[in-house]
Amino acid sequence: MKNNIIEKAEKVIAATYKRPPIVIEKGKGCMVWDTEGKPYIDFVAGVAVCSLGHAHPRVVKALCSQADLLFHVSNLYYTIPQVELASWLVENSFADRVFFCNSGAEANEAAIKLARKYFNGNDEKGRYRIISMERSFHGRTMATLSATGQDKIKKGYDPFLEGFDFVPFNDAEALAGRIGPSTCAVILEPVQGEGGVRCPDPDYLQKVRKLCDKAGALLIFDEIQTGIGRTGRLFAYQHSGVEPDIMTLAKALGNGLPIGAMLAKEHVASAFGHGSHATTFGGTPVITAAALEVLKVISEEKIVDNCRKIGAYFMERLLWLKSRHASVKDVRGVGLLIGMELDVEGEPLVNKCLEKGFLVNCIQGNTLRFVPPLIIGREEIDSLIECLDEIL
Ligand SMILES: *Cc1c(COP(=O)(O)O)cnc(C)c1O
């Protein structure tokens, strides 16, 4: 069965991912099982997606109930779950309005379009440039790839969308030197995820906000990876007290169902009028009903508090590993978004972890990224630490 599927996959699936030779069949909580029945503790969670773990009973129930009632009617009509989900997000964030779509890239695409339209509508047509950060990641569509500050994933796709400038992350002076009357927006991740798990200095976001205000530019936070509790606050911007004008969400919002969202303050959001942006599937009833349940569980069960506490514990244990192994160069992160940089290739370690029953992800070639479900406990963390200690 397993070999059959892998053989088939190698023939019929686009070769964009290099995958390990297992086939994952089911999941429950922080565990998944392959087709041989072997269990794994999941420290990837679908890349910071399944924050409530796999097959959460309340989310499954919400999904199935809505599936019985109504799948889809398009955005030509009002539907209840979409409005309820938007209301929850508005009540719990800086934002006034929400545009739903199907992925992170689409959410950033909407943010880029909104920022441009905002100034075009205001008769500031020369204001279209967007400043992004080196090592940033904003998605794989042409516009979001244009906004991404990593050459290795952009290779071969030029020419890119016109109007993107790059400055180093966590360098307010560099931003001050670049921002100006042609800048319509600055886009950044409050903590860089894909780029290596990089946290800025505590006052950096405040400086960025001030520079945007002075230049009259909008501030976009890409919270696709950091949002919905991952960093120990509902949104990562809340650590800094700095509010953006536009924020994008995706990954954990649907706990595995495809959904993205672009949130904005009223004066910015109003640049999108009837017909100015659209999507067939965005915010469809089944997905939004499940996402609303995800958010209810997260708030009712104090999942974000658990993330903060268990994240601190995880960090402490990883620092202990670092103190024992010279090959661990750095441990950094916040909440349950943690990177461990090695002075060796990460892939052999990932493979050994897999053998021992742990799913772990490696980014930038040498940094293990730990983004487990936010419901993870000390026992699971202890067993991973023990495994890593042995391997290292
Ligand atoms: C994952 C991610 C994206 C892209 O999301 P997709 O759903 O894969 O399109 C964009 N920005 C950040 C910060 C991400 O982590």
Considering the four listed CATH numbers 3.40.50.150, 3.30.1360.200, 3.40.50.11890, 3.40.640.10, the one that applies to the domain covering 58-300 is 3.40.640.10
222 lines ligand 1 (CB under 6 A): yes
Model pLDDT for residues 218-270, shown as the tens digit of each residue: 999 999 999 999 999 999 999 999 999 999 999 999 999 999 999 999 999 99
Q: Which of 251, 272, 314, 370 is catalytic?
A: 251
- Residues in contact with 239: Cβ distance below 8 Å, sequence separation at least 6, in sequence order: 190, 231, 232, 233, 334
Where does the pLDDT of residue 1 fall: very low under 50, low under 70, confident under 90, or very high at 90 and above? low
At 229 the pLDDT is 98
Q: Comparing C-alpha atoms, which of 25, 26, 28 is closest to residue 57?
A: 28
Q: What is the mean pLDDT of the chain?
A: 97
Write down the pTM of the prediction.
0.98
145 lines ligand 1 (CB under 6 A): no
Cβ atoms 210, 157 nearer than 8 A: no
Ligand 1 atom nearest residue 103's Cα: 7
Model pLDDT for residues 143-164, shown as the tens digit of each residue: 999 999 999 999 999 999 999 9
Q: Comparing C-alpha atoms, which of 212, 254, 296 is closest to residue 221?
A: 212
Q: Comparing C-alpha atoms, which of 181, 167, 85 is closest to residue 128?
A: 181
Model pLDDT for residues 109-140, shown as the tens digit of each residue: 999 999 999 998 766 778 999 999 999 999 99
Fold entry, domain 2-55+302-391: Aspartate Aminotransferase, domain 1 (3.90.1150)
Q: Is the pLDDT of residue 20 over 70?
A: yes
Domain with CATH 3.40.640.10 in the chain: 58-300
Q: What's the token pair of residue 286?
A: 């089944």
Q: Is the pLDDT of residue 276 over 80?
A: yes
First to last CA, the chain: 33
Model pLDDT for residues 29-61, shown as the tens digit of each residue: 999 999 999 999 999 999 999 999 999 999 999
132 forms beta bridges with: 166
At 181 the pLDDT is 96
At 125 the pLDDT is 72
DSSP character string of 75-111: TTS--HHHHHHHHHHHHTSS-SEEEEESSHHHHHHHH
Ligand 1 atom nearest residue 136's Cα: 13
Q: Is 251 a residue of the active site? A: yes
At 170 the pLDDT is 98
At 3 the pLDDT is 76
* Mean local confidence (pLDDT), 201-224: 98
Model pLDDT for residues 304-341, shown as the tens digit of each residue: 999 999 999 999 999 999 999 999 999 999 999 999 99
Coil/strand/helix, residue 16: coil
Nearest CA to ligand 1 atom 10: 138
Domain with CATH 3.90.1150.10 in the chain: 2-55+302-391
**187, 225, 257, 363: residue to mutate for ligand 1 pocket, most atoms within 8 A of CB:** 225
Q: Comparing C-alpha atoms, which of 97, 24, 389, 74 is closest to residue 272?
A: 97
Segment 349-354 long-range contacts (CB within 8 Å, at least 24 positions apart):
349/388, 349/391, 349/392, 350/20, 351/20, 352/391, 353/384, 353/387, 353/388, 353/391, 354/20, 354/22, 354/40
138 lines ligand 1 (CB under 6 A): yes
- Residues in contact with 284: Cβ distance below 8 Å, sequence separation at least 6, in sequence order: 71, 72, 79, 82
